[in-house]
Amino acid sequence: MDTSSPRSNFIRDIIDADLESGRHTRVATRFPPEPNGYLHIGHAKSICLNFGIARDYGGTCNLRFDDTNPEKESEEFERAIADDVRWLGFSWDDRYYHASDYFTQLHDYAVRLIRDGKAYVDSLSAEDIRQYRGTLTEPGRDSPYRARSVEENLELFARMRAGEFADGAHVLRAKIDMASPNINLRDPTLYRIRRTEHHRTGAAWHIYPMYDYTHCISDALEHITHSLCTLEFEDHRPLYDWVLDQLPDLAHPQQIEFARLEVNYSITSKRKLLALVQENLVSGWDDPRLPTLKGLRRRGYPPAALRDFCERVGITKKQTTIDVGVLENCVREELDRSAPRVMAVLDPLKLVIENYPEGQVEDMPAQNHPKDESFGTRTVPFSRELFIEREDFMEDPPKKFFRLGPGREVRLRYGYLVTCTGFERNANGEVVTVRCTYDPATRGGNAPDGRQVKGTIHWVSAAHAVDAEVRLYDRLFDIEDPGSADDFRAHLNPTSMTVIADAKLEPSLAHAAPEARFQFERLGYFCADRLDHQPGRPVFNRTVSLKESWAKGNDRKR
Ligand code: ATP
Ligand code: MG
């Protein structure tokens, strides 16, 4: 877990005041996803906030599935969500709940509201209900069914429950105020008929409670103290409070709203993410270019970096969009700390060391982490034929090019100093081999005579190299705000994925575990793909480059 102390924010201030005043003696939060899709970076903010507060105040945070829409929800989503929360580093212990666990209580409370004259069965059509609701500037009108007797309401509600009516024939509504300036209080629907099986309760129910009615009662039943949600629920808070005010024997948690997390160049709308997946514009929910937690995980983002990012972004009431570069920097910082260094060549060019004995192999000691000795050392085999990066050689280099070119000397990292003696082309005129000589006195990369070379390049021994597929990822969209474009599909970045089929890795990577993360020296941070990587057939994903390559204003620097 992160060791830095959490930044204070207005929600923590409210909690501090509640504990100080004795209004509460403990803190209980919950994270309430609807199992109708996969979690994304925005949800990470809510998870870190809710579980983070529980952790820091010695309280509890429940994982509660808000599963009141049987048509859209599934077991698959539920499992994936629980898996993601755990992966992010949080635990709900045994507090794993569902709104559907409370269907009986929710029903019984609805009966009580009917008895108390606080709810009624409406038989207007959905369209009429909309008409009667009024607008932002005009008050609504009472439904002709609003005056039904308690007995009639009880009977109709019982028959709705028994499955006697078709979907939409009736709804149960709260009896509040059709003239309220807050449309959410204009007799909101509490229950609707859905003759659909639910992934957990099966065919037990023909009526399902609405979110606003369910959420506050679920919070109360779980003795949540602070119910933290995003700003779009601000206008629903009076309804949250109204329902609980009618049920005074229940606890009354406090709803507090905060701004959603939005990240530029990304889409976090569940509907649009679903479209990307269903239209095969990406490879699935875990496509490494998506901001889903499954995607970020597959891309190699460490959970600690996401927690750090959420902490840095902070909690406010002001809606802002965060630059994705901030997220990428959190990833770089975490990986700089935690990823061992290795050598890999993505665009191989053969380098032959003419004066190096044929058949000789030296195991060169290499540091696993130049800034942290605890990572230890390994050896990398050095031999007469190596691969170097194609872009590290130039036939006719400019003065400032400190890599290899005819007559120039460079350091092979952890190897020797070598001087380029020539190169060969194939029939197409492409350079296929570079030739050099090495200075045997420079083992490890330093010249005993103190002569300096400006460039150090990475390499792998050709005979020992492990062939690998390497996938380079870039931003999925080429505009900052794809979410508000007329059609986000028109703004997909055509080069968001490049597959290199024949990269060359140092042999230590042959046994990398799926999801293991490394810095490929000079190239970036990479992780072994959690699904496709296999011992005999390594597949690595580029998590992030070493430096920010997108300048402000969407210009590629390289
Ligand atoms: P839906 O449109 O299906 O309601 P949702 O993104 O709100 O989508 P939920 O499963 O309801 O999905 O979200 C679970 C929790 O995560 C809610 O408390 C919600 O407020 C919070 N959340 C969702 N998106 C964000 C976001 N971008 N930033 C912060 N919190 C978010
Ligand atoms: Mg929601």
- Whether the CB of 34 sits within 6 Å of ligand 1: yes
Per-residue pLDDT, averaged over 311-330, amounts to: 95
- Whether the CB of 42 sits within 6 Å of ligand 1: yes
Ligand 1 pocket, mutate which of 9, 40, 46 (most atoms under 8 A from CB): 46
- Whether the CB of 237 sits within 6 Å of ligand 1: no
The residues annotated as belonging to the active site are 34, 260, 270
Q: Which ligand is nearest to the CA of 229?
A: 1
Per-residue pLDDT, averaged over 369-395, amounts to: 97
What separation in Å is there between the alpha carbon of 365 and the centre of ligand 2?
Answer: 53
Q: What is the 3-state secondary structure (H, E, C) of 429-464?
A: CCEEEEEEEECHHHCCCCCCCCCCCCCEECEEECCC
* Residue ID of nearest Cα to ligand 1 atom 18: 229
pLDDT confidence tier of residue 4, bands split at 50, 70 and 90: low
pLDDT confidence tier of residue 444, bands split at 50, 70 and 90: very high
Does this chain's domain 270-340+467-544 share its CATH topology with 344-458?
yes
- For the cut 50, the answer to whether the pLDDT of residue 229 exceeds it is yes
Say which CATH architecture domain 344-458 belongs to.
Beta Barrel (2.40)
Ranges 1-5, 119-123, 467-471, 509-513: which has the least confidence? 1-5
- For the cut 60, the answer to whether the pLDDT of residue 334 exceeds it is yes
pLDDT confidence tier of residue 548, bands split at 50, 70 and 90: confident
Q: Are the beta carbons of 464 and 383 closer than 8 angstroms?
A: yes
With tokens 């969209």, the residue in question is 477
- Whether the CB of 43 sits within 6 Å of ligand 1: yes
- Whether the CB of 254 sits within 6 Å of ligand 1: no
205-221: per-residue pLDDT in tens? 999 999 999 999 999 99
What separation in Å is there between the alpha carbon of 34 and the centre of ligand 2?
Answer: 7
pLDDT confidence tier of residue 6, bands split at 50, 70 and 90: confident
Q: d(Cα 382, Cα 401) in Å, to the nearest integer?
A: 25
What separation in Å is there between the alpha carbon of 496 and the centre of ligand 1?
Answer: 27
- Whether the CB of 261 sits within 6 Å of ligand 1: yes
Question: Phi and psi at residue 256, in whole multiples of 5°?
Answer: -130, 130
How many Cβ atoms sit within 10 Å of the Cβ of residue 320?
Answer: 11
Q: d(Cα 302, Cα 335) in Å, to the nearest integer?
A: 8
* Residue ID of nearest Cα to ligand 1 atom 14: 33
117-129: per-residue pLDDT in tens? 999 999 999 999 9
Fold of the CATH domain 10-260: Rossmann fold (3.40.50)
Q: Which ligand is nearest to the CA of 65?
A: 1
- Whether the CB of 268 sits within 6 Å of ligand 1: yes
Q: How far is CA 349 from the centre of its chain?
A: 37
What separation in Å is there between the alpha carbon of 48 and the centre of ligand 2?
Answer: 16
User: Which ligand 1 atom is nearest residue 232's CA?
Assistant: 20
Listed by start position, the domains of the chain span: 10-260, 270-340+467-544, 344-458
Q: d(Cα 500, Cα 470) in Å, to the nearest integer?
A: 5
Q: Are the beta carbons of 444 and 364 closer than 8 angstroms?
A: yes
Tell which wins on pLDDT, 550 or 254.
Answer: 254
Output the CA torsion sign for 49, 55, 57, 61.
positive
- Domain 270-340+467-544 has what CATH class? mainly beta
Per-residue pLDDT, averaged over 57-65, amounts to: 98
- For the cut 50, the answer to whether the pLDDT of residue 554 exceeds it is no
Task: State the pLDDT at residue 420.
Answer: 98
Taking alpha carbons only, the member of 75, 76, 46 closest to residue 63 is: 46
494-534: per-residue pLDDT in tens? 999 999 999 999 999 999 999 999 999 999 999 999 999 99
How many Cβ atoms sit within 10 Å of the Cβ of residue 401?
Answer: 15
Q: Return the half-sphere exposure (C-beta side, CA atoms, 13 A cut-off) of residue 318.
A: 5
User: Which ligand 1 atom is nearest residue 47's CA?
Assistant: 16
* Residue ID of nearest Cα to ligand 1 atom 25: 42
pLDDT confidence tier of residue 1, bands split at 50, 70 and 90: very low
Whether the full predicted model's pTM is greater than 0.85, yes or no, is yes
Task: State the pLDDT at residue 550.
Answer: 53
Q: What is the DSSP string of 489-551?
A: GGGB-TTSEEEEEEEEE-GGGGGPPTT-EEEETTTEEEEE-TTT-BTTB-EEEEEE-SS--EE
What separation in Å is there between the alpha carbon of 33 and the centre of ligand 1?
Answer: 7
Please state, rounded to an integer, the average pLDDT across all residues of the chain: 95
406-430: per-residue pLDDT in tens? 999 999 999 999 999 999 999 999 9
Residue 343 has which token pair?
């050598």
What separation in Å is there between the alpha carbon of 395 and the centre of ligand 1?
Answer: 55
- For the cut 50, the answer to whether the pLDDT of residue 558 exceeds it is no
